[in-house]
Structure 1
Amino acid sequence: MTIYHFIGIKGTGMSALAHILHDSGEKVQGSDVDKHFFTQAALDKKNIPIFSFSENNIKDDYTVIAGNAFTEDHIEIKEAKKRGLTFYRYHEFLGEWLKQYTSIAVTGAHGKTSTTGLLAHVLNEATPISYLIGDGTGKGHIDSKYFVFEACEYKRHFLRYRPDYAIMTNIDYDHPDYFTSVDDVFDAFQSMANQVKKGIIACGDDEYLQKIQGKVPVVYYGFNAVNDFQAQNVIETKEGSQFDVYVRNTYYDTFTIPLYGNHHILNALSVIAFCHYEGMEADKMKSIRSFKGVKRRFTEKIVGNQILIDDYAHHPIEIKATIESARKKYPDKPVIAIFQPHTFTRTKTFLHEFAESLSLADHVYLCDIFSSAREADGSLTIEDLKKLISGSSVLDLSHTNILRFFKNSVLIFMGAGDIQKFQAAYEDILKQDDTLGRVESV
């Protein structure tokens, strides 16, 4: 039996792919750094072996899959190539694996993880499926009809895929260490659109997606009346957001999602549009209201009279959306943003946009810029961002106890690096404070 060895198995995409192969009956193992990641618990639960990096992990007859974060001079990659083993990068293997299913690629500058999770949730209630979500969640099923997966545009990796369908949530300028402009990003998405085999579901409210040309039908969704699928009459309740769906200006049905903010309604609308396109009845889509969300996307805990939120937001647009969701769900609570910028290039490129987005919070704490393995820039510090945000402060890991003074508030820990360590440090302090009670997940 082939053994699949994952180099960097704790990565979100890599761990999800490991789950899929394991669930499909394959023998899976992997290696990574000796540091705990939030993806690790689910791998341990399935008894998937995880080793420290070493050339001794690589054996003859292994098939090796390497995460895209690792360079060619990594000790295990060099050993695998020296032995002449079958070798794939993550996106290369995924491009081959999905060919056995009706595949749906979910892509976009923002919202792809949440949309992938929501689509997987709805389809999974109706039929056996396999899915790969960018929060580290993956599932394989031998009788799968659909394969739902997140397709990342970074370095044009998604061009390795030739999916049957694609959901495109939006186009925006991000990954400035690779893309030169929003037009460069658009070019990548247009190339992706040319590879879709059956249909594209695209947000018609996005000015760039309106220009996408497909060799297959393009179905548009959004709030604007010109879209094929339109959301109207949005009502926010204690249960979430309720809205009516119109299909080509004709009332279709009313849906409720347990989420707040227009971006979540758009994500839900894309899922409804795809399911409708595939002939699913509206009643089978109603499971959309039981969606529990994905990891690190507005993940909540209640601690006394505070709400702690862990969110992956690392782009100004995402920060605005996360703060909007918090204000709509908790309109009577102040919002405190604790933000860790991710990569020097992104911070430098969007410095003023970050300041504008974060200023929507009632108070802002900034953590040092997360130093990525793919870059370094000593000319920029967190002080450059602090100067642009009135009343903001720099938060040191050893002084998170200052957050206790924000009574009856929403504390949002945001970032794509290791912002979780700041929340963990704060929770450790709270556990020692009997007056605030226990920590409860929402």
Structure 2
Amino acid sequence: MNHDILEQVRRIHFVGIGGSGMCPLAEILHHEGFELTGSDMNESDTLERIRSYGIPVTMGHKAENIGNAELVVYTAAVKHDNAELMAAEERGIPTIERSVMLGIVSRRYKNSIAVSGTHGKTTTTAMITQVCIDGGVDPSAIIGGKLPAIGGNGRVGKSETIICEACEYVDTFLQLSPAISVILNIDADHLDYFGTLENIIKSFHQFSSQTSRLLVINGDDPNCRKAVEGIQNARIITFGMNENNDYSAHGISDLPKACESFSLYKNGEKISDITLSVPGKHNVLNALAAATVADYLGIDPKTAAESLGRFTGVHRRFEILGKFDGVTVADDFAHHPTELNATLTAASRMGFRAVWALFQPHTYSRTYLLLEDFARALSIPEHVVLSPILAVRETNTYQIYAKDLADKVPGCVCLDTFEEMADYAMEHAQPGDLILTLGGGDIYKCANLIVEKYQKAGKSAEKVCCTVAQ
């Protein structure tokens, strides 16, 4: 694809414009003066945001929707037999996938910051965005979840800085060539595509080689260190718990609600104290990455620390939905054993009487290949309820079922529908308990259903002042 294509077109149509990755791109291009149209299948808050800019949005996909567009951008969820893509092909209109457009757009910024890693990308991207805003950088941003500080998952700034997530799945992040890249961690995931951990590390190495100025990596993670071996095109800065890192956390102490407080050290010297509002040791690492980037950008360490202290998380990262008659209801995106372990460990330290984990396994391949790891993570909470495995893009060639996982988790229950899961948890949960839905699919609907049922039963929500972010 011609990377100068935005110099050649003015009218762009977005297929699936309401998607979390599409909406921010549309906002940026709209503010740059491009004429946009869009289509989508479902109404959403993001579509309302898009319409507020005067961008026409059509519900449903039809050939005529592309109008007089000179370029069509489509989300990865759209199939190739989509009516709008087929119409564009018939008329000779170029079509590009969202990740390609992200690469094109980000290259228009002098300071492009890409946040990568198997876990924690959304939270860390949001942290860096909030710190940059508070530090006067005025960045543009593309985030995989809603950040309360900006009222959405995207932002159009006036500076030469853009912050975005860099997802490794199907090598999407190789469409990017950032000035600054963050590598939070490298874990065995998406093995249906990569096959082996070694192949994942090779992809991160390639991503690192496409970074022009700075690599900020988790020095405690041997896979991260391996991924940047031999890299000479960019400076490498490390962060982590170990004091041998360039930036490190010292004196980590638990605070009420399982949040952490620590001192940030740079090259052995203390530069700030940070008290987080989001629980979990994993968030110490996320905050370290954000603070490292902030310091490189010249943001005062005290300003960065205060900003990180105000950060309260993003949508679907241990998002607390309410507390009803003493039962707290929350939802989290965790769908990999490492993420489940981090979230459930944090939840177990938050002082709840008992934790109810309502988990939707995500893809047959991940469940099959990481079965034992899932079982260990799901042994942390007192109660576990499983839904059927969400197929996503796969067929069950592995012959794996939720019951295979349930058999390895003491007391685990398998239920077929979100309705049954909601009723079961509500029937057995007691005051002081946490009902936590987990998964990368649509398990959030179960959390919303639980909230609706409590509300219909006349249970009023009590104020909850703490969130957890993954």
TM norm structure 1: 0.94
Cα distance in structure 2, aligned partners of 1:299 and 1:350: 26
Query: Contact 2:18/2:44 (CA < 8 Å) preserved in 1?
Result: yes
1:327-406 equivalence runs, <5 A? 327-328=348-349, 330-372=350-392, 374-377=393-396, 379-395=399-415, 396-399=417-420, 400-404=422-426, 405-406=428-429
Alignment root-mean-square deviation, CA: 2.0
Give SS of 1:244's match: strand
Query: Contact 2:321/2:451 (CA < 8 Å) preserved in 1?
Result: no
Match of 2:253 among 223, 228, 235: 235
Give SS of 1:303's match: strand
Specify the alignment match of 1:209 in structure 2: 224
Specify the alignment match of 2:344 in structure 1: 323
Deviations 1:278-302 (A, max 9, x none): 2221122121111131111111122
Q: How far did residue 385 of structure 1 move?
A: 1.4
TM norm structure 2: 0.88
Query: Contact 1:57/1:76 (CA < 8 Å) preserved in 2?
Result: yes
1:154-303 equivalence runs, <5 A? 154-211=169-226, 212-213=228-229, 214-215=231-232, 216-238=234-256, 240-285=259-304, 286-303=306-323
Give SS of 2:279's match: coil
Gaps of 5+ in 1: none
Cα distance in structure 1, aligned partners of 2:464 and 2:64: 41
Which AA in structure 1 matches 2:14?
F
| 2:143 paired with 1:120 | no
Q: How far did residue 440 of structure 1 move?
A: 5.5
Specify the alignment match of 2:438 in structure 1: 414
Query: Contact 2:61/2:82 (CA < 8 Å) preserved in 1?
Result: no
| 2:139 paired with 1:129 | yes
Query: Contact 1:310/1:412 (CA < 8 Å) preserved in 2?
Result: yes
Gaps of 5+ in 2: 1-8, 147-152, 466-470
Which AA in structure 1 matches 2:156?
G
Q: How far did residue 75 of structure 1 move?
A: 2.0
Query: Contact 1:22/1:140 (CA < 8 Å) preserved in 2?
Result: no
> How many residues get paired?
437
